Amino acid sequence: MILNPWILTMLTGHAALFFVFSLATINAWWIFSGWDFTSSSEKQYGLEKRTYLVSSVMNLTLIIQMLMLFLLVMAADELAKILPGAMCATGSLSSNKYGFPLLMIKIGSFFIYFVWWVLNYLDNQLEDYPLVRKKYLALVCIFPVMISETILLLLFAVNLNPTVIASCCGSIYNESSAGLGGTMAGSSPLMTLTLFFGVVSIVLIWHMIENIRGYRPTKKKGGLEALLWVFLFVTALLTVISFISTYIYEMLSHKCPFCLLKAEYNYIGVPLYFFLFLATATGLTKGVLQWMGAEGPLGEKAIWLRRRLGQMSIFSLLVYIVVGYSPFIIYYIRTGRTI
């Protein structure tokens, strides 16, 4: 354990997050177990009021989680200065075995909160709150994710040891090194690019087909769409490591998904990841909405919402591509060759 400003800040922020989320979970449980729409009792009225508390708390949770995700990467980057051998965030995150799982669970929980947040929004548009019990049950079920995140964060913080030499991104995202990072960087840019743009084309074609009259959305298609977006997210990260980063750093050997968030590279990673996350979150949610297969007025509202989400995801995806690939295009125009 190191008493470092960044670690303490992360713990403070997470404590706040954990506190509000627990508050939401307890209230969600009360609402789930006591909800009776037909009743006009004081109790039901009180529960209705609690739904507002849960909604506000979840809005806050989503915002805090977004900040915390950012903070984790920044903190890891700063910690690299203290951990011998670590050059950037990669080094700190891999300095003990909890770093990367923590990052992954943070990314995952962000998407989960986002889906829940949209469902909550959808449900609140309808007078009889058709999803009310389901969504609060879902919230209670998400709580273990939050608990595991908390445990991982604590383990990560406690096991940060400045006397153990960490590896730097040069050695982790190095083709010759074993492990996930090495495999990710070692995969040829051509292959990852083909995969990524393959998925992007499927997504775009899918989007166009949906707008054709007579298209019948089914539950299965919705689930498939959600999975497709998850896959797109992964391939997009792969291309960042194996292709995009080389053109941002303009160094063949420097392949790191974190360094591009730094001031040295004009914070280009910030818009890049923001739009990637937004695209994935909205696209994923769109798939999940269809997979739920709502009917009646809820279904109508869901169709409207899915259209909005679809537009947003495609737009963000395109922005991501423009932001991510312009360094390559600029480099190509300037030098007439690839790296």
Partner 1 sequence: MEDPILKTVNVTKIYNQGKQNEVVPVRNASLTVEEGTAVVLQGPSGSGKTTLLSMIGCQIKPTYGEIVVKGKQVSKLPEKFANLHKREHIGFVFQQFHLISDLSVLDNIILPLLPSGIPPGERKCRAEELLEEFELMPRKQFKVKDLSGGEQQRVAICRSLINGCSLLLADEPTAHLDGQLTIEFLKYMTHLKEKGYTILIASHDPAVFKNGMVDRIIEMNSGEIVS
Partner 2 sequence: METPTQSGSWLERQRSIIDYSLQSMFRRRTKNSLILVMYVLLIFVVSSVFFITGSLTVELFSTVDELPDITVQKLIGGRQVVIQESYFQAIREIPGVEAVEPRIWGYFYLEELQANFTIFGMDLTMLEEGEYQRIVDWGPALKKGEERPEFRMIIGEGVSRLLKAIQMEDSFLFFQPNWDTAIPFGIIGTFKSETQLQSNDLMVMQTEGARRVLELKEGEYTDLVVHVPNPEETKMIALKIRRYYPELRTVTRAQIESTYTSAFNWKAGFVLSSMLVVIFAFLVLIWDKASGLSPAEKKEIGILKAIGWDTEMILSVKFWESFIISLLASIFGVILSYFYIYWLHAPGLKEIFIGWSTIFPSFDLVPHIDLKFLLLIVTVTVIPYSTIAIFPAWKAAITDTDFILRNN
Among 8, 36, 45, 303, binds partner 1 (CB under 8 A): 45
Among 162, 170, 271, 299, binds partner 2 (CB under 8 A): 162
Among 85, 108, 179, 198, binds partner 2 (CB under 8 A): 85
Which residues lie below 8 Å from residue 107, measured CB to CB, with a gap of 6+?
A: 69
The region that residue 43 occupies, defined by phi over 0 for left and psi between -120 and 50 for alpha, beta otherwise, is alpha
219 makes contact, choosing from partner 1, partner 2, none, with CB < 5 to 8 Å by partner type, with none
* CA–CA distance, 324 with 298 (Å, rounded to integer): 37
41 makes contact, choosing from partner 2, partner 1, none, with CB < 5 to 8 Å by partner type, with partner 1
Q: How far is CA 98 from CA 69, 89, 122, 186, in A?
A: 15, 13, 36, 23
CB 313 within 8 A of CB 282: yes
CB 249 within 8 A of CB 243: no
Among 38, 40, 144, 163, binds partner 2 (CB under 8 A): 163
Q: Does the protein bind partner 2 through residue 84 (CB under 8 A)?
A: yes
Among 41, 56, 194, 335, binds partner 2 (CB under 8 A): 56
Among 3, 40, 178, 216, binds partner 1 (CB under 8 A): 40
Alpha helices in the chain (DSSP H): 5-34, 42-79, 89-93, 99-124, 132-158, 169-172, 180-186, 189-210, 219-239, 245-249, 269-292, 296-335
Q: Contact positions toward partner 1, by CB under 8 A?
A: 37-38, 40-42, 45, 48, 124, 127, 129
Q: Contact positions toward partner 2, by CB under 8 A?
A: 2-6, 8-10, 12-13, 16-17, 19-20, 23, 49, 52-53, 55-57, 60, 64, 67-68, 70-71, 74, 78, 81-82, 84-85, 125-127, 162-163, 165, 263, 267, 297, 300-301
